[in-house]
């Protein structure tokens, strides 16, 4: 088994932990963090393919990851702001209770 | 080289799994910070130092603070949380089944794939090269990312900002039981 296989298996593990967390937890913050874990797993794949690819172009995988990290940061900020807005409205951040889109 | 990878993976996956299993939100958030630091350690292991430091700055430094603030701002009394409903147990079981199936499919696909052998020498990218690539080839994308970040952070501020008038004039429907008119 090559290092590339190992890296991909590790990122699979991280992705599935994030998926399980995002599906199982009822706290909105933990669901968002599960999604962040899945994004991190995707970034690990980019770096793994850049490092162990057959003919890596200098810096290509790293550029991908840098942009992905920037977009993930924006997503986390907006997500947490939405959570705080929902909390102010409902005094509660359980997903089961956020069933209406009423203003 | 490979033992270090196993250690990093253990740190990363162990803390992520513990974070998703624990019921204390603060502990979960702190363990997730450890997990993100583990991802940064993986980037260092793979020779992507610049990305590792970006990961530490953005995730371990910035997003962790935002998450901790969100956890503290939305904290409620822990008494409600101690009871686990049967519905959430069922949902957790379904989630674990789905995640295990996805993991099995991905692992089977990865293990049955034969990748091209890695390049003889490891790729290197100095900070200067990365900067030149970002500014030359990907200059447009960099501008768009800056725009996205600005718009997203402004939007986040507006979403989370308190609206005092609205809070006082119309209390939320969920917080108060509906009043019956006599």
- Express each pLDDT in B114-146 by its tens digit: 888 777 777 777 888 888 888 998 999 999 999
CB-based contact A38:A19 (threshold 8 Å):
yes
Which run of H or of E encompasses A48?
helix A28-52
Q: Does the pLDDT of residue A33 top 90, yes or no? A: yes
Could you tell me which CATH class the domain A3-97 is placed in? mainly alpha
Q: What is the pLDDT of residue B117?
A: 79
Q: Which residues of A touch B119 (CB under 8 A)?
A: 53-56
- The mean of the pLDDT values for chain B is 84
Please tell me the pTM assigned to this model: 0.86
Distances (CA, A) of B103 to A103, B21, B98: 39, 18, 9
| Residue pLDDT, tens place only, B47-64 | 888 999 999 999 999 999
Helices (H), B46-138: 49-55, 64-73, 86-111, 127-136
Q: Does the pLDDT of residue B79 top 60, yes or no? A: no
Those of residues 57-96 in A touching chain B at CB distance below 8 A are 58-59, 61-63, 65-67, 69-78, 80-85, 87-93, 96
Residue that wins the pLDDT comparison between B106 and B80 = B106
Q: What is the pLDDT of residue B140?
A: 93
Are B73 and A84 a contacting pair at CB < 8 A?
yes
Q: Which among B2, B96, B159 has CB closest to A82? A: B159
In sequence order, which residues have a C-beta less than 8 Å from that of residue A38 and are 6 or more positions away? A14, A15, A18, A19, A22
Report the CATH architecture of B1-75: Up-down Bundle (1.20)
Distances (CA, A) of B143 to A41, B148, B149: 25, 9, 10
Q: What is the ipTM of this complex?
A: 0.90
In sequence order, which residues have a C-beta less than 8 Å from that of residue A32 and are 6 or more positions away? A76, A79, A80, A83
Q: What is the pLDDT of residue B164?
A: 65
From the candidates B67, B101, B154, which should be mutated to test the interface with A, based on the most A CB atoms within 10 A?
B67
Q: Please give the structure tokens belonging to residue B108.
A: 């089977």
């Amino acid at each position: 088994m090559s290092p590339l296989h190992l890296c991909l298996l590790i990122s699979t593990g991280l992705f599935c932990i994030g998926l399980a967390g995002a599906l199982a937890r009822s706290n909105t913050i933990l669901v968002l963090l599960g999604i962040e874990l899945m994004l991190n797993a995707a970034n690990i794949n980019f770096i793994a393919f850049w490092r162990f690819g057959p003919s890596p172009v200098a810096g290509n995988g790293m550029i991908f990851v840098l942009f992905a990290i920037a977009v993930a940061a924006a997503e986390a900020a907006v997500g947490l702001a939405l959570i705080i807005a929902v909390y102010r409205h409902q005094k509660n951040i359980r997903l089961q209770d956020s069933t209406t889109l009423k203003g | 080289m490979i033992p270090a990878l196993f250690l990093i993976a253990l740190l990363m996956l162990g803390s992520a799994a513990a974070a998703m299993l624990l019921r204390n939100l603060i502990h979960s958030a702190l363990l997730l910070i450890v997990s993100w630091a583990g991802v940064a350690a993986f980037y260092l292991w793979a020779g992507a130092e610049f990305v590792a430091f970006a990961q530490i700055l953005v995730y371990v430094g910035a997003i962790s603070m935002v998450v901790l603030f969100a956890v503290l701002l939305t904290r409620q009394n822990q008494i409600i949380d101690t009871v686990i409903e049967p519905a959430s147990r069922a949902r957790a079981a379904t989630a674990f089944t789905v995640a295990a199936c996805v993991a099995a499919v991905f692992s089977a696909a990865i293990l049955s794939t034969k990748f091209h052998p890695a390049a003889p020498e490891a790729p290197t990218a100095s900070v200067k090269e990365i900067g030149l690539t970002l500014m030359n080839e990907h200059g447009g994308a960099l501008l768009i990312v800056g725009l996205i970040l600005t718009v997203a952070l402004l939007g986040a501020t507006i979403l989370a900002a308190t609206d005092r008038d609205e809070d006082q004039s119309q209390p939320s429907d969920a917080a108060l039981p509906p009043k019956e008119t006599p």
